[in-house]
Amino acid sequence: YCAALNCQNATSGVYKNSSVSFYSFPLQNKALLRQWIQNMGRDMEIPSKYQRLCSAHFEESSFESRPFKVRKNRRLLKEAVPSKFILGEDGKWLVGTPQGFCSVMRSNS
């Protein structure tokens, strides 16, 4: 399962979504890890090595551009920071920044 609050994407079971990739937390890069956790809006110290975030929480610009490579799982750029989260029960997408969260229109893509 994805470690983000209110995200139901999973690698297996009822919520399996084959168009979604999963990424490990940058445990070796403390500054980047802090950004990930802050943007998630979660109260967690250090995620476990088994926890993952899904691709739904990253902007398209966070992924490697490989026009001639066909891959099921896209490669995340090393400096990528997740910024798209659903924090409210109303299903609104919120974009996380160091200054806080702001609502955005939810797209069907």
For residue 88, pLDDT over 70 is answered with: no
DSSP 106: P
DSSP 36: H
Q: How far apart are CA 37 and CA 27, in angstroms?
A: 11
Domain boundaries defined on the chain:
22-104
Cβ contact 53:23 at 8 Å: yes
Per-residue model confidence as pLDDT tens digits over 31-81: 999 999 988 877 777 889 999 999 989 998 999 877 666 656 688 999 999
- Mean pLDDT, rounded, of the chain: 77
pLDDT average, residue stretch 6-28: 80
Please list, in sequence order, all residues whose beta carbon lies within 8 angstroms of the beta carbon of residue 54, skipping any fewer than 6 positions away: 2, 4, 7, 9, 17, 20, 21, 22, 23
